Amino acid sequence: MDAVEVAAGTLGTVLGCPVALTEDTAAFLRGFEERYAFLPSAQPALTASYLGAFVEAMADQVVHELTEPLGTAVTVVRLPGRLAVIGPYTARTLRANEATALLGESRIPGAHLQAFSLYRSSFAIVDSEFVMRGAMALLEAAGGDGDRVGFERVVTSARPLEEGVREPAQSAPFAAIEARYAIEHDFIEAVSEGNERRALDALRRMSTVPRPPGYLNTPFLGATILRIMTRVAAQLGGLPPVTIDAISQTYAQELHRSGHSPDVQRTAASIAAMVGEFCRHIRRHQQSPYSPAVRRAMDHVALHLSHHVTPGELAERAGVSESHLGRLFKAETGWTLTQYVARERARRAAQLLASTDQPVRDIAAHVGYLDANYFVKVFRTAYAMTPSEYRRSQA
Protein backbone atom coordinates (compact mmCIF):
# COMPACT_ATOMS: atom_id res chain seq x y z
CA MET A 1 0.00 0.00 0.00
CA ASP A 2 1.60 3.28 -1.12
CA ALA A 3 1.34 6.72 0.49
CA VAL A 4 -1.64 7.75 -1.66
CA GLU A 5 -3.63 4.64 -0.73
CA VAL A 6 -2.88 5.21 2.96
CA ALA A 7 -3.97 8.85 2.62
CA ALA A 8 -7.16 7.82 0.81
CA GLY A 9 -8.06 5.31 3.51
CA THR A 10 -7.48 7.87 6.25
CA LEU A 11 -9.49 10.50 4.39
CA GLY A 12 -12.45 8.13 3.96
CA THR A 13 -12.45 7.41 7.71
CA VAL A 14 -12.28 11.11 8.62
CA LEU A 15 -14.94 12.27 6.16
CA GLY A 16 -17.22 9.27 6.54
CA CYS A 17 -17.84 9.07 2.79
CA PRO A 18 -16.38 6.91 -0.01
CA VAL A 19 -12.86 7.74 -1.24
CA ALA A 20 -11.76 5.71 -4.25
CA LEU A 21 -8.63 5.50 -6.39
CA THR A 22 -8.90 3.98 -9.85
CA GLU A 23 -6.72 3.39 -12.88
CA ASP A 24 -9.59 2.10 -15.02
CA THR A 25 -11.74 5.22 -15.13
CA ALA A 26 -14.39 3.96 -17.54
CA ALA A 27 -15.13 0.75 -15.63
CA PHE A 28 -15.10 2.54 -12.29
CA LEU A 29 -17.54 5.23 -13.44
CA ARG A 30 -19.97 2.65 -14.81
CA GLY A 31 -20.07 1.01 -11.40
CA PHE A 32 -20.26 4.41 -9.71
CA GLU A 33 -23.39 5.36 -11.67
CA GLU A 34 -25.04 2.00 -11.05
CA ARG A 35 -24.44 2.29 -7.31
CA TYR A 36 -25.12 5.96 -6.62
CA ALA A 37 -27.38 7.51 -9.27
CA PHE A 38 -31.01 7.65 -8.10
CA LEU A 39 -32.37 8.99 -11.42
CA PRO A 40 -29.50 9.36 -13.92
CA SER A 41 -31.34 11.85 -16.12
CA ALA A 42 -31.83 14.14 -13.12
CA GLN A 43 -28.30 13.65 -11.81
CA PRO A 44 -25.79 14.05 -14.63
CA ALA A 45 -22.88 14.55 -12.22
CA LEU A 46 -23.26 10.94 -11.08
CA THR A 47 -23.45 9.35 -14.54
CA ALA A 48 -20.62 7.55 -16.27
CA SER A 49 -21.03 9.48 -19.52
CA TYR A 50 -21.01 12.94 -17.95
CA LEU A 51 -18.22 12.19 -15.48
CA GLY A 52 -16.16 10.40 -18.13
CA ALA A 53 -16.24 13.42 -20.47
CA PHE A 54 -15.62 15.81 -17.58
CA VAL A 55 -12.59 13.87 -16.33
CA GLU A 56 -11.20 13.62 -19.85
CA ALA A 57 -11.24 17.40 -20.20
CA MET A 58 -10.32 18.54 -16.68
CA ALA A 59 -6.95 20.04 -15.91
CA ASP A 60 -4.25 18.56 -13.69
CA GLN A 61 -3.54 20.13 -10.28
CA VAL A 62 -7.19 21.21 -10.02
CA VAL A 63 -9.71 19.79 -7.55
CA HIS A 64 -13.22 19.73 -9.01
CA GLU A 65 -16.42 19.47 -6.97
CA LEU A 66 -19.56 18.68 -8.97
CA THR A 67 -22.98 19.20 -7.38
CA GLU A 68 -26.10 17.79 -9.02
CA PRO A 69 -29.67 19.15 -8.83
CA LEU A 70 -30.87 16.65 -6.20
CA GLY A 71 -28.27 17.87 -3.73
CA THR A 72 -25.47 15.32 -3.74
CA ALA A 73 -21.89 16.15 -4.69
CA VAL A 74 -18.77 14.36 -5.83
CA THR A 75 -15.18 15.60 -5.95
CA VAL A 76 -12.67 14.39 -8.54
CA VAL A 77 -8.98 15.06 -8.92
CA ARG A 78 -6.45 13.60 -11.36
CA LEU A 79 -3.39 12.00 -9.78
CA PRO A 80 -0.37 10.56 -11.64
CA GLY A 81 -1.66 7.42 -13.33
CA ARG A 82 -5.06 7.33 -11.58
CA LEU A 83 -8.18 9.20 -10.64
CA ALA A 84 -9.32 10.03 -7.11
CA VAL A 85 -13.08 10.19 -6.53
CA ILE A 86 -14.47 11.45 -3.21
CA GLY A 87 -18.16 10.96 -2.54
CA PRO A 88 -20.98 11.12 -3.10
CA TYR A 89 -21.75 13.25 -0.05
CA THR A 90 -24.21 15.99 0.76
CA ALA A 91 -23.98 19.36 2.45
CA ARG A 92 -26.97 19.07 4.78
CA THR A 93 -29.97 17.09 5.95
CA LEU A 94 -33.04 17.35 3.73
CA ARG A 95 -36.38 17.70 5.52
CA ALA A 96 -39.54 16.08 4.11
CA ASN A 97 -41.05 19.32 2.80
CA GLU A 98 -37.71 20.31 1.26
CA ALA A 99 -37.46 16.93 -0.46
CA THR A 100 -40.95 17.39 -1.90
CA ALA A 101 -40.05 20.84 -3.22
CA LEU A 102 -36.77 19.60 -4.67
CA LEU A 103 -38.47 16.79 -6.57
CA GLY A 104 -41.06 19.26 -7.82
CA GLU A 105 -38.37 21.61 -9.13
CA SER A 106 -36.80 18.71 -10.99
CA ARG A 107 -40.23 17.59 -12.30
CA ILE A 108 -39.88 14.21 -10.65
CA PRO A 109 -43.20 12.49 -9.73
CA GLY A 110 -44.15 12.43 -6.05
CA ALA A 111 -44.17 8.63 -6.11
CA HIS A 112 -40.39 8.86 -5.79
CA LEU A 113 -40.48 10.82 -2.53
CA GLN A 114 -40.04 7.99 -0.05
CA ALA A 115 -37.36 6.26 -2.08
CA PHE A 116 -35.57 9.57 -2.62
CA SER A 117 -35.67 10.42 1.10
CA LEU A 118 -34.06 7.07 1.90
CA TYR A 119 -31.51 7.64 -0.84
CA ARG A 120 -30.48 11.10 0.38
CA SER A 121 -30.26 10.02 4.01
CA SER A 122 -27.73 7.32 3.08
CA PHE A 123 -25.02 9.90 2.30
CA ALA A 124 -22.67 11.50 4.80
CA ILE A 125 -23.07 15.21 5.53
CA VAL A 126 -19.66 16.71 4.79
CA ASP A 127 -18.37 20.27 4.59
CA SER A 128 -17.01 20.72 1.07
CA GLU A 129 -14.05 22.67 2.43
CA PHE A 130 -12.88 19.54 4.24
CA VAL A 131 -13.28 17.56 1.02
CA MET A 132 -11.20 20.11 -0.86
CA ARG A 133 -8.44 19.97 1.75
CA GLY A 134 -8.54 16.19 1.69
CA ALA A 135 -8.22 16.13 -2.08
CA MET A 136 -5.25 18.49 -1.81
CA ALA A 137 -3.65 16.07 0.69
CA LEU A 138 -4.07 13.27 -1.87
CA LEU A 139 -2.33 15.40 -4.50
CA GLU A 140 0.55 16.11 -2.15
CA ALA A 141 0.84 12.42 -1.22
CA ALA A 142 1.07 11.67 -4.95
CA GLY A 143 3.95 14.12 -5.31
CA GLY A 144 2.00 17.18 -6.44
CA ASP A 145 2.72 20.75 -5.42
CA GLY A 146 0.22 21.76 -2.73
CA ASP A 147 0.90 25.45 -3.31
CA ARG A 148 -0.24 25.21 -6.93
CA VAL A 149 -3.55 23.37 -6.43
CA GLY A 150 -6.61 25.00 -7.97
CA PHE A 151 -10.25 24.57 -6.97
CA GLU A 152 -13.34 24.56 -9.14
CA ARG A 153 -16.97 24.06 -8.15
CA VAL A 154 -19.37 22.99 -10.88
CA VAL A 155 -23.18 22.95 -10.47
CA THR A 156 -24.70 20.65 -13.06
CA SER A 157 -28.24 20.87 -14.45
CA ALA A 158 -30.72 18.06 -15.04
CA ARG A 159 -31.75 16.77 -18.41
CA PRO A 160 -35.47 16.39 -19.13
CA LEU A 161 -36.85 13.34 -17.31
CA GLU A 162 -37.39 10.38 -19.57
CA GLU A 163 -40.94 9.55 -20.56
CA GLY A 164 -42.56 6.78 -18.58
CA VAL A 165 -40.74 7.46 -15.33
CA ARG A 166 -43.72 7.34 -12.98
CA GLU A 167 -42.75 4.81 -10.32
CA PRO A 168 -39.70 4.73 -8.05
CA ALA A 169 -36.74 3.29 -9.88
CA GLN A 170 -35.39 1.57 -6.77
CA SER A 171 -37.54 -0.92 -4.88
CA ALA A 172 -34.64 -2.96 -3.49
CA PRO A 173 -33.89 -0.48 -0.66
CA PHE A 174 -37.38 -0.99 0.77
CA ALA A 175 -36.91 -4.75 0.99
CA ALA A 176 -33.44 -4.27 2.46
CA ILE A 177 -34.75 -1.88 5.09
CA GLU A 178 -37.51 -4.29 6.05
CA ALA A 179 -34.90 -7.04 6.36
CA ARG A 180 -32.70 -4.81 8.54
CA TYR A 181 -35.56 -3.91 10.86
CA ALA A 182 -36.54 -7.58 11.12
CA ILE A 183 -32.96 -8.48 12.13
CA GLU A 184 -32.81 -5.64 14.67
CA HIS A 185 -36.12 -6.86 16.13
CA ASP A 186 -34.73 -10.39 16.26
CA PHE A 187 -31.63 -9.11 18.08
CA ILE A 188 -33.66 -7.23 20.71
CA GLU A 189 -36.01 -10.18 21.20
CA ALA A 190 -33.08 -12.62 21.54
CA VAL A 191 -31.34 -10.47 24.15
CA SER A 192 -34.61 -9.98 26.07
CA GLU A 193 -34.87 -13.80 26.26
CA GLY A 194 -31.23 -14.20 27.28
CA ASN A 195 -30.50 -16.15 24.07
CA GLU A 196 -26.84 -15.28 23.48
CA ARG A 197 -26.33 -17.46 20.39
CA ARG A 198 -29.36 -16.05 18.60
CA ALA A 199 -28.43 -12.45 19.55
CA LEU A 200 -24.88 -12.80 18.21
CA ASP A 201 -26.20 -14.42 15.03
CA ALA A 202 -28.52 -11.42 14.53
CA LEU A 203 -25.56 -9.09 14.97
CA ARG A 204 -23.66 -10.99 12.29
CA ARG A 205 -26.63 -10.86 9.91
CA MET A 206 -26.99 -7.09 10.37
CA SER A 207 -23.79 -6.51 8.42
CA THR A 208 -24.76 -8.86 5.58
CA VAL A 209 -28.01 -7.24 4.39
CA PRO A 210 -27.75 -5.25 1.11
CA ARG A 211 -28.13 -1.95 2.99
CA PRO A 212 -26.68 -2.56 6.48
CA PRO A 213 -27.38 0.02 9.20
CA GLY A 214 -25.17 3.04 8.61
CA TYR A 215 -24.24 3.18 12.28
CA LEU A 216 -22.46 -0.19 12.05
CA ASN A 217 -19.65 1.38 10.03
CA THR A 218 -19.54 4.68 11.90
CA PRO A 219 -16.68 4.85 14.43
CA PHE A 220 -17.89 4.87 18.05
CA LEU A 221 -21.52 5.61 17.05
CA GLY A 222 -22.18 2.00 16.08
CA ALA A 223 -20.93 0.63 19.40
CA THR A 224 -22.96 3.22 21.31
CA ILE A 225 -26.20 2.46 19.45
CA LEU A 226 -25.76 -1.29 19.92
CA ARG A 227 -25.13 -0.75 23.64
CA ILE A 228 -28.36 1.25 23.90
CA MET A 229 -30.30 -1.41 21.94
CA THR A 230 -28.96 -4.09 24.27
CA ARG A 231 -29.95 -2.07 27.33
CA VAL A 232 -33.49 -1.65 26.00
CA ALA A 233 -33.67 -5.39 25.32
CA ALA A 234 -32.46 -6.12 28.86
CA GLN A 235 -35.25 -3.92 30.23
CA LEU A 236 -37.78 -5.85 28.17
CA GLY A 237 -36.28 -9.03 29.63
CA GLY A 238 -37.05 -7.79 33.13
CA LEU A 239 -33.48 -7.15 34.26
CA PRO A 240 -33.47 -4.56 37.08
CA PRO A 241 -32.32 -1.07 35.97
CA VAL A 242 -29.53 -1.01 38.54
CA THR A 243 -28.11 -4.25 37.09
CA ILE A 244 -28.48 -2.97 33.53
CA ASP A 245 -26.68 0.25 34.36
CA ALA A 246 -23.85 -1.55 36.13
CA ILE A 247 -23.19 -3.82 33.14
CA SER A 248 -23.61 -0.97 30.67
CA GLN A 249 -21.15 1.28 32.46
CA THR A 250 -18.65 -1.56 32.72
CA TYR A 251 -18.52 -1.76 28.93
CA ALA A 252 -19.02 1.93 28.13
CA GLN A 253 -15.36 2.82 28.53
CA GLU A 254 -14.10 -0.22 26.65
CA LEU A 255 -16.51 0.41 23.77
CA HIS A 256 -15.57 4.09 23.72
CA ARG A 257 -11.91 3.15 23.35
CA SER A 258 -12.38 0.35 20.83
CA GLY A 259 -15.08 2.28 18.94
CA HIS A 260 -12.56 4.98 18.06
CA SER A 261 -10.00 2.39 17.02
CA PRO A 262 -9.52 1.18 13.42
CA ASP A 263 -9.37 -2.36 14.82
CA VAL A 264 -12.83 -3.58 13.81
CA GLN A 265 -12.27 -7.04 15.31
CA ARG A 266 -11.52 -5.54 18.72
CA THR A 267 -14.76 -3.54 18.65
CA ALA A 268 -16.73 -6.60 17.56
CA ALA A 269 -15.21 -8.67 20.38
CA SER A 270 -16.14 -6.00 22.95
CA ILE A 271 -19.72 -5.85 21.68
CA ALA A 272 -20.02 -9.64 21.69
CA ALA A 273 -18.71 -9.78 25.27
CA MET A 274 -21.22 -7.14 26.36
CA VAL A 275 -24.14 -8.92 24.68
CA GLY A 276 -23.04 -12.20 26.23
CA GLU A 277 -22.90 -10.75 29.75
CA PHE A 278 -26.33 -9.14 29.41
CA CYS A 279 -27.79 -12.43 28.15
CA ARG A 280 -26.29 -14.41 31.03
CA HIS A 281 -27.71 -11.99 33.61
CA ILE A 282 -31.12 -12.06 31.92
CA ARG A 283 -31.18 -15.88 31.86
CA ARG A 284 -30.23 -16.07 35.49
CA HIS A 285 -32.84 -13.48 36.39
CA GLN A 286 -35.64 -15.12 34.38
CA GLN A 287 -34.83 -18.64 35.56
CA SER A 288 -34.67 -17.63 39.19
CA PRO A 289 -37.28 -19.47 41.28
CA TYR A 290 -37.35 -16.64 43.78
CA SER A 291 -39.97 -13.96 44.36
CA PRO A 292 -39.39 -10.43 43.00
CA ALA A 293 -38.44 -9.06 46.43
CA VAL A 294 -35.82 -11.76 46.98
CA ARG A 295 -34.46 -11.35 43.44
CA ARG A 296 -34.08 -7.60 43.94
CA ALA A 297 -32.19 -8.19 47.18
CA MET A 298 -29.91 -10.72 45.43
CA ASP A 299 -29.24 -8.28 42.58
CA HIS A 300 -28.28 -5.59 45.07
CA VAL A 301 -25.88 -7.93 46.84
CA ALA A 302 -24.25 -8.90 43.53
CA LEU A 303 -23.71 -5.26 42.58
CA HIS A 304 -22.35 -4.21 45.99
CA LEU A 305 -20.37 -7.27 46.96
CA SER A 306 -17.39 -5.25 48.19
CA HIS A 307 -19.48 -3.00 50.43
CA HIS A 308 -21.08 -3.55 53.79
CA VAL A 309 -24.72 -4.19 52.87
CA THR A 310 -27.22 -4.13 55.75
CA PRO A 311 -30.55 -6.02 55.86
CA GLY A 312 -32.25 -2.62 56.06
CA GLU A 313 -30.67 -1.50 52.74
CA LEU A 314 -31.68 -4.76 51.08
CA ALA A 315 -35.25 -4.44 52.35
CA GLU A 316 -35.44 -0.87 51.03
CA ARG A 317 -34.15 -2.01 47.63
CA ALA A 318 -36.65 -4.91 47.63
CA GLY A 319 -39.54 -2.60 48.54
CA VAL A 320 -40.63 -4.54 51.64
CA SER A 321 -40.05 -4.33 55.39
CA GLU A 322 -36.84 -5.73 56.84
CA SER A 323 -38.68 -8.40 58.84
CA HIS A 324 -40.77 -9.47 55.83
CA LEU A 325 -37.71 -9.74 53.59
CA GLY A 326 -35.90 -11.76 56.27
CA ARG A 327 -38.74 -14.27 56.46
CA LEU A 328 -39.10 -14.47 52.66
CA PHE A 329 -35.38 -14.90 52.11
CA LYS A 330 -35.03 -17.67 54.70
CA ALA A 331 -38.13 -19.47 53.41
CA GLU A 332 -37.09 -19.34 49.72
CA THR A 333 -33.31 -19.83 49.95
CA GLY A 334 -32.71 -21.53 53.27
CA TRP A 335 -30.23 -18.83 54.24
CA THR A 336 -30.44 -15.68 56.28
CA LEU A 337 -29.49 -12.46 54.53
CA THR A 338 -26.19 -12.36 56.38
CA GLN A 339 -25.38 -15.96 55.44
CA TYR A 340 -26.23 -15.26 51.79
CA VAL A 341 -23.93 -12.21 51.61
CA ALA A 342 -21.06 -14.24 53.14
CA ARG A 343 -21.73 -17.09 50.71
CA GLU A 344 -21.71 -14.81 47.65
CA ARG A 345 -18.50 -13.11 48.78
CA ALA A 346 -16.86 -16.51 49.23
CA ARG A 347 -18.11 -17.65 45.81
CA ARG A 348 -16.66 -14.58 44.12
CA ALA A 349 -13.39 -15.01 46.01
CA ALA A 350 -13.22 -18.63 44.84
CA GLN A 351 -13.56 -17.48 41.21
CA LEU A 352 -10.67 -15.04 41.66
CA LEU A 353 -8.51 -17.61 43.44
CA ALA A 354 -8.98 -20.05 40.57
CA SER A 355 -8.53 -17.56 37.71
CA THR A 356 -5.93 -15.01 38.93
CA ASP A 357 -2.62 -14.79 40.78
CA GLN A 358 -3.82 -12.02 43.08
CA PRO A 359 -2.63 -12.34 46.67
CA VAL A 360 -5.24 -13.70 49.09
CA ARG A 361 -5.16 -10.43 51.05
CA ASP A 362 -6.08 -8.44 47.90
CA ILE A 363 -8.90 -10.83 47.04
CA ALA A 364 -10.22 -10.54 50.57
CA ALA A 365 -10.33 -6.74 50.24
CA HIS A 366 -11.97 -7.02 46.82
CA VAL A 367 -14.91 -8.98 48.21
CA GLY A 368 -15.29 -6.72 51.24
CA TYR A 369 -13.07 -8.20 53.96
CA LEU A 370 -10.33 -5.84 55.15
CA ASP A 371 -9.41 -8.37 57.86
CA ALA A 372 -7.73 -11.18 55.91
CA ASN A 373 -7.84 -13.54 58.88
CA TYR A 374 -11.61 -13.13 59.17
CA PHE A 375 -11.91 -13.71 55.41
CA VAL A 376 -10.05 -17.03 55.78
CA LYS A 377 -12.54 -18.06 58.48
CA VAL A 378 -15.55 -17.17 56.29
CA PHE A 379 -14.04 -18.93 53.27
CA ARG A 380 -13.31 -22.10 55.25
CA THR A 381 -16.93 -22.18 56.43
CA ALA A 382 -18.13 -22.08 52.79
CA TYR A 383 -15.56 -24.40 51.18
CA ALA A 384 -14.15 -26.48 54.07
CA MET A 385 -10.60 -25.36 53.20
CA THR A 386 -8.50 -22.22 53.34
CA PRO A 387 -8.21 -19.90 50.31
CA SER A 388 -4.64 -21.08 49.67
CA GLU A 389 -5.71 -24.72 49.80
CA TYR A 390 -8.57 -23.97 47.41
CA ARG A 391 -6.20 -22.27 44.93
CA ARG A 392 -3.88 -25.29 44.96
CA SER A 393 -6.83 -27.61 44.39
CA GLN A 394 -7.78 -25.67 41.25
CA ALA A 395 -4.28 -25.63 39.72
Burial 162-193 (b: 16+ CB within 10 A, else e): eeebeebeeeebeebeebbeebbebbbbbbbb
Q: How far apart are CA 254 and CA 154, in angstroms?
A: 44
79, 138 in Cβ contact below 8 A? yes
Same domain (yes/no): 176, 146: no
Same domain (yes/no): 28, 146: yes
**Is residue 161 included in any domain, yes or no?**
no
User: Which residue, 217, 177, 212, is CA-closest to 16?
Assistant: 217
**Is residue 222 included in any domain, yes or no?**
yes
Mean pLDDT confidence for 27-46: 88
| Predicted confidence (pLDDT) per residue in 212-252, tens digit | 555 555 555 677 788 889 999 999 988 878 788 878 887 87
Considering 155, 190, 211, which residue would you say is the last residue of a domain?
A: 155
Helix (H, G, I), strand (E, B) or coil at 238: coil
**Is residue 160 included in any domain, yes or no?**
no
Considering 155, 184, 199, which residue would you say is the last residue of a domain?
A: 155
| Predicted confidence (pLDDT) per residue in 337-380, tens digit | 999 999 999 998 998 999 888 999 999 998 889 898 999 999 99
| Predicted confidence (pLDDT) per residue in 74-109, tens digit | 999 988 889 999 989 988 887 778 888 877 777 777
Considering 121, 155, 189, which residue would you say is the last residue of a domain?
A: 155
Domain encompassing residue 39? 3-155
94, 71 in Cβ contact below 8 A? yes
Q: How far apart are CA 259 and CA 222, in angstroms?
A: 8
Instruction: State yes or no: pLDDT of 260 exceeds 80.
Output: no
**Is residue 355 included in any domain, yes or no?**
yes
Mean pLDDT confidence for 200-210: 81
Our separate counts of H helices and E strands in the chain read 18, 5
**Is residue 65 included in any domain, yes or no?**
yes
What's the Cα-to-Cα distance from 274 to each of 200, 213, 280, 347, rounded to whole Å?
A: 11, 20, 10, 22
**Is residue 126 included in any domain, yes or no?**
yes
pLDDT given for residue 218 in this prediction: 54
Bridge partner residues of 66 (DSSP): 74, 154
Same domain (yes/no): 136, 204: no
Mean pLDDT confidence for 190-198: 94
